[in-house]
Amino acid sequence: MSFKRSLFLALFLFGAGLVWGLTFSIDRPGPLAGNVAELKKLSDFLLPLPQPSVFAFIFLKNAVAVLVGFALSPFFCLVPAAALVLNGGLLGLVSISVVREKSLGFLLAGVLPHGIFEIPALIIGQAAAFSFGTSVMLAIFSKERRKLVLPNLKQNARYLALSVILLLVAALIETYVTPLLVR
């Protein structure tokens, strides 16, 4: 699958997850409720840490998630698909909760500054995973496709590198700018 098609698929899955998350309430149990509880625990763990440690944790967590999605993409692209739907779902669910408890302005101040880098990074990284995973899966069944795997890997490694760079910028903003905006 070309990167462009993979990008559209990634956008669709993230968007579907976002809509799915917006339809749930944090008050009633649902498939995403456990993830929200884990996010709360993670937040409580990170708050007392020094900012450089928080930055390193956020960056490494997000970068490893994208890299694992890429590495496991030849297994029917399940990990990248799940990552996109779940991340979109969590964003939708948390957004509804924050708007109810605080305000839309608070949500935008808390998500927008780093989200303009983090969300595209996730989508680009997982689109690269779809493109690479599809290439590997097709190569298993077609000798002609095998010679395309290495060029595909090289092309998608560039997109993956872009994704990681965007995640680095997002982690910096999330650590050092976002706390100033939500105070």
The whole-chain average pLDDT of the chain stands at: 91
Confidence of residue 34 (pLDDT cuts 50, 70, 90): low
Judged against a pLDDT cut of 70, whether residue 180 lies above it is answered with yes
For 2: left if phi > 0, alpha if psi spans -120 to 50, otherwise beta; the answer is beta
Report the C-alpha gap between 169 and 164 in whole angstroms.
9
Region 105-114: mean pLDDT is 94
User: What is the pTM (predicted TM-score) of this model?
Assistant: 0.90
- Our measurement of the distance from residue 19's CA atom to the centroid of its chain's CA atoms, rounded to an integer in Å, reads 15
Region 123-151: mean pLDDT is 95
Confidence of residue 183 (pLDDT cuts 50, 70, 90): confident
For residue 47, the model assigns a pLDDT of: 73
For residue 49, the model assigns a pLDDT of: 81
Region 54-82: mean pLDDT is 95
CA proximity to 130, closest of 155, 106, 102, 93:
155
Q: Is 22 exposed, middle or buried (0-12, 13-18, 19+ CB in 10 A)?
A: middle
Judged against a pLDDT cut of 90, whether residue 97 lies above it is answered with no
